[in-house]
Amino acid sequence: MYSNRKTAVTAAALLAAAAALVAGCERGPSAGTGPSDAGGCPGTLAKAGTAVQRAENTDASWTGPTSGPAAVSGRTVVYVAQTMTNPGVAGVTKGVEEAAKVIGWDLRVIDGEGTPAGIQAALSQAITLKPAGIVIGGFDPQLTSQQVARAEAARIPLIGWHAVASPGPSENPRLFTNITTNVDDVAKISADWIIARSKGDAGVVLFTDDSIPFARNKSELIKKELATCSGVRILAYENIPIPDASNRTPQAVSSLLSRFQDTWTYSVAINDLYFADAAPALRAAGEPGSGPPFNIGAGDGDPSAFQRINSEQFQAATVPEPLSQQGWQIIDEFNRAFAGRPASGYVAPVHIATADNSHGSTSWDPAGYREAYRKIWRK
């Protein structure tokens, strides 16, 4: 019985391998580079490769605003952070601090500490300070609907960073503007990187935080793009709230390694921090820092992510937000609001950072933004 079953399985495997070769569809990371090598998605593979090559370009110049109102003087802005343990939120804070100093405004940062109660209390405190403007830093305004209504009644303009799904002004909730890269583009290019790098053959684990609508939407878009290639399979969808990531991610990774073993070849996360927390578990299991699994962060691009990428320690790529530039943009957008002008409408283009194109840097921002904003503000 056992011998016959083994022979049958071996024969089936040989037939499958032969069929793959006839179809020109060799699978796995060692496959060729042409569309005919795609695991069932030659058209998707070709498009993904072109998009990835464009996103990895580092020669892009400043395409943001070059005109606007001169600096309005004597303003105070409060940055309410979802949690300062989120590297993206913290990175934008540094940009806001730098830009506020240049334009000559006072800045107050209040940490919501990652809990609904903490965020609500932080925003309430911000409103009590009666500032000229408040930043919704990385959390869903619906979570603080009462406080948002109070701010609106007090005529305090709100600017979001990753607060709602789309960049630009928002009516409900009312935001002067929301600053983020285009989530559709970020999700698509991170999925395309997996499709292109794996040549259409990957077993993927997706890490996300469904408690944040922005993150949940991003992960759904990633799944949608991955599904365009039949050779790419989503093995697991790990819903781990960002504030719990340091506690839950290592255990989840250990379980995933046990369940999927060598079939887990790629990972994508809505935030780079998941890979900081995954690294100890991957290292303890004897997995190589250079992969597999090959890991890409679909968001933020904080310095620790670049360090992991540059040293090939359990992260291969990130789709970074230009965190410092976005901090400067927050101040510029407030200046437009205070001057009675509309939002700039600028959305930073997507970029993929790898060890090959980051050249040892620990951040990515489009060139020339500081000079452009200083010129606009006459500073």
Q: Which residue has the higher pLDDT, 167 or 11?
A: 167
Residue 264 has pLDDT above 70, yes or no: yes
- Looking only at the bridges linking them, the beta strands covering 266-269 and 294-297 are parallel
CA distances for 36 relative to 176, 201, 370, angstroms: 48, 12, 45
Distance from C-alpha of 74 to C-alpha of 106, rounded to nearest angstrom: 8
* Beta strand residue intervals within the chain, DSSP E: 76-81, 106-111, 133-137, 158-161, 168-170, 175-179, 202-208, 232-239, 266-269, 294-297, 317-318, 353-354
Average pLDDT (13-42) is 42
Q: Which pLDDT score, from 0 to 100, does residue 28 have? A: 37
Q: What is the average pLDDT value for the chain, to the nearest integer?
A: 89
Q: Which pLDDT score, from 0 to 100, does residue 132 have? A: 98
What is the 3-state composition of the chain as percent helix, strand, coil, each rounded to the nearest 5?
Answer: 50, 15, 35
Q: CB–CB of 190/319 below 8 Å?
A: yes
Contacts of 198 (CB under 8 A, 6+ apart): 29, 39, 231, 232, 265, 266, 294
Q: If pLDDT is split at 50, 70 and 90, which confidence band does 6 have?
A: very low
Nearest by Cα to 354 from 88, 56, 49 = 56
Q: Which pLDDT score, from 0 to 100, does residue 80 have? A: 98
Residue 304 has pLDDT above 80, yes or no: yes
Q: CB–CB of 225/41 below 8 Å?
A: no
CA distances for 99 relative to 86, 94, 213, 331, angstroms: 20, 9, 28, 6
Q: If pLDDT is split at 50, 70 and 90, which confidence band does 7 have?
A: very low
Distance from C-alpha of 107 to C-alpha of 37, rounded to nearest angstrom: 54
How much is the pTM?
0.78
Average pLDDT (203-212) is 94
Q: Which pLDDT score, from 0 to 100, does residue 367 have? A: 87
Distance from C-alpha of 4 to C-alpha of 24, rounded to nearest angstrom: 30
Residue 214 has pLDDT above 80, yes or no: no
Contacts of 190 (CB under 8 A, 6+ apart): 222, 268, 296, 297, 298, 319
Residue type, 137: G
CA distances for 46 relative to 50, 180, 199, 353, angstroms: 6, 28, 9, 20
Average pLDDT (29-45) is 58
Q: Which pLDDT score, from 0 to 100, does residue 133 have? A: 98
Residue 185 has pLDDT above 90, yes or no: yes
Contacts of 144 (CB under 8 A, 6+ apart): 119, 120, 123
Residue 355 has pLDDT above 70, yes or no: yes
Burial 228-253 (b: 16+ CB within 10 A, else e): bbebbbbbbebebbbbebeebbbebb
